[in-house]
Amino acid sequence: MRYLQQTGREVLIFAPDTGITDVHGSEVVALPSFSLSMAPETKVAMPIPYIEERLRAFQPDLIHLSSPALMSVYGMITARELNIPVVANYQTDLPGYTAHYGVPFLEQPIRDWLRYLHNGCHVNLAPTKTVQKALKKQGFHRVMVWGRGVNLTQFNPAHRSAAMRARLLAGRSDDHLLCVYVGRLANEKQIPMLLDLAKQPGIALAIVGDGAQRAEMEALFAETGTHFTGYLYGQELSEAYASADAFVFPGPNETFGQVVQEAFASGLPCIVTSKGSVAELVQHGVNGFICEQTPAAYARAAAYLRDNPTHRRAMSHAARAYAETRPWSSVMDQLEDHYLTALKVSERFKRTFHNTHYHRTARVRSWAAALTLWAGNTLIGRLRARPALQSV
């Protein structure tokens, strides 16, 4: 967003109604939304015709959809009707989440909807080659790779703080290997995979984040001394990363894993899952470890870092060096190239088809998708509210 503003673009933002009216001077159009029962902090905006009305009035030269699900369909509709280039990010594995929430029968309908929505766009941006390959196999078209950058000033070993380290250790001695997790506390993050790690002598785990599973996770890790901070922001978050010794991330459904890059920039070797795309960021044994998805594997990797401080320091330097190759400036140069490609594809479509009818059924499909998501969200809420069975 800031890059677009700094390069002289006029920007209009559509987002769920969270009370934010502008971002650095660009208007935010707040839309009616609902919270997800599995992630109450996440809001999903509804696909209402007002989006199309505002887009027609704004007359954009390009529309960029960030992780489209429901409301973004009106961006695609308007773009196709007015022959405006439209670019979409694929950055959340919504179909993959269904198994974690007991509704696997929704996986294919959600994937079909996302494929329909993305294939209405001129360019689709996958954050990794792994995701690009998977999407192409599933029938998504015009998929290109656009990674993510990292703020090398905000996330930096220079933010290391004795006070923050003591806070994260929460009474454990300073000679412990301090491992930190940063992210939501939700089913798909698979935080119980860290339980064996947290039980290891000489290893301290701190969990930075919040979510629907916090109370459950606090109970599960109660005997390990694990410290839960809740969400941290700004300087506190920078200090939390830099004051740890290693970063752990077991979530198997990540399409990228931005927190891993933030940890690298802070000088932390990263212990990550072999599943999903996050492993694409890690060089095993160089700047981190890629683990099989078992609690024992994470515990072994952390124990190695605890017992081999010289190698751990070398991995810390390698982690920072990797992050320094990923400044946002270079990544945004790639985005400009993708915008140019979208413009060329749009012009080719106009020459070939003149007008397209791809989007004509999109309004109906968007409300069908909204109804499916609402029904699944309601079912998940009921499943979570059901009392646990007790053995006799």
Q: Based on the domain organization, do 14 and 145 belong to the same domain?
A: yes
Residue ranges making up the domain that contains 9: 2-149+328-382
Same domain, 286 and 357: no
- Specify whether 176 is located in the same domain as 249: yes
**Between the CA of residue 136 and those of 90, 145, 147, 266, what are the distances in Å?**
12, 12, 17, 34
| Residue 74 sits in the same domain as residue 127 | yes
Q: What distance in Å separates the CA atoms of residue 362 and residue 180, rounded to the nearest whole number?
A: 43
In a domain, 349, yes or no: yes
Q: What is the pTM of this model?
A: 0.83
What is the distance between the alpha carbons of residues 388 and 342, in angstroms, rounded to a whole number?
51
Same domain, 366 and 236: no
Q: What CATH number did the domain enclosing 180 receive? A: 3.40.50.2000
Q: Are both 107 and 126 inside the same structural domain?
A: yes
Q: Are residues 141 and 218 in the same domain?
A: no
Closest among 155, 148, 84 to 120, alpha carbons compared: 84
Q: What is the pLDDT along the chain (392 residues), one digit of tens a residue?
A: 777 888 888 999 998 887 788 888 889 998 888 776 666 667 778 778 888 889 989 999 999 998 777 788 888 888 888 889 999 999 888 888 888 778 888 888 889 889 988 999 999 999 999 999 999 999 999 999 999 999 999 999 999 999 999 999 999 999 999 999 999 999 899 999 999 999 999 999 999 999 989 999 999 999 999 999 999 999 999 999 999 999 999 999 888 999 999 999 999 999 999 998 999 999 999 999 999 999 999 999 999 999 999 999 999 999 999 999 999 988 998 999 999 999 999 998 888 876 665 555 555 555 555 555 555 555 545 444 443 333 22
Domain total for the chain?
2
In this structure, is residue 93 part of a structural domain? yes
